[in-house]
Chain A
């Protein structure tokens, strides 16, 4: 195996994730359409999650086959467990991501209901227009 290529590709992956992070952050903050914001937010969540799992990866060495963190032997001897520890990837980030994905899904479900309601009430999902209406409303309330 070519260690230079492997390192380059791994760092390329990390950089791509940072780029995705920046693009979606732009999408969430600067886009005026709520649906666009929603799409960007879901991608942002996914990017953070992929990044997390990437942290728990490890370099393959010749003669070492990586495996997912699941033991395939039902009656393991200490040697098998030792081998398993040497070969498995980090399970903790995976557990974090599992939690984070569900949380992201829950938040997105809620945001969907809210976007639908915004559409029912304001007949638009453009935050600039809604902001304009709100400024007028607050002005009326304050006077």
Chain B
């Protein structure tokens, strides 16, 4: 409300308006702590992510074929890598991001191995 009052007080010139809005947003940003905002938001987002993992696990358990399982492991792995990047911010240790790099690089290999197993006579062929 106070914000609108301020706006009404000034002449409605475009540059003034923008200036006022920018100043106002900067004022908000001074009021809310960015750290707690980011962390709270991410903490809340962890839960649906974990539910999604459990659903993927159900698909892995149900199968029925090899390809279904590999596909579910694959999707699980990619999402876990994304999850890990978020967790990295959450625990405030940026250097543990390297874990999700390797996860991304290696999860794909399972696809390739199984594809080769199904398709070719020899794994090295």
Whether A and B touch (Cβ < 8 Å) is answered with yes
Binds B, one of A5-13, A31-39, A66-74: A66-74
Q: A70 to B93, alpha carbons, bound, how many Å?
A: 10
User: Is the Cβ of A68 less than 8 Å from the Cβ of B92?
Assistant: no
Say whether A3 faces chain B, with CB atoms less than 8 Å apart.
Answer: no
CB <8 Å contact, A70 and B91:
no
Contacting residues, chain A, for B96 (C-beta < 8 A):
68
Query: CB of B95 within 8 A of chain A?
Result: yes
**How many of chain B's residues touch chain A, expressed as a range?**
under 10
A65 at the interface (CB under 8 A from B): yes
B84 → chain A, closest Cβ, in Å? Answer: 13
**A17-65, CB < 8 A from B:** 65
CB 8 Å contact bits of B31-46 with A (1 = contact, 0 = none) = 0000000000000000
Q: Which residues of A contact B93 (CB under 8 A)?
A: 65-68
**How far apart sit A128 and B93, CA to CA, in the bound complex (Å)?**
51
Question: Contact: A70 with B95, CB < 8 Å?
Answer: yes
Enumerate chain B residues within 8 angstroms of A67, measured Cβ to Cβ.
Answer: 91-93
Establish whether residues B95 and A65, one from each chain, have CB atoms under 8 Å apart when the complex forms. Answer: no
Select from chain A the residue with minimum beta-carbon distance to B94.
Answer: A72
Q: Which residues of A contact B95 (CB under 8 A)?
A: 68, 70, 72
Once bound together, how far apart are the Cα atoms of A139 and B53, in whole Å?
56
A53 to B32, CA, bound (A): 38
Closest Cβ neighbor of A60 among chain B residues: B91
Binding site for B on A (CB under 8 A): 65-68, 70, 72
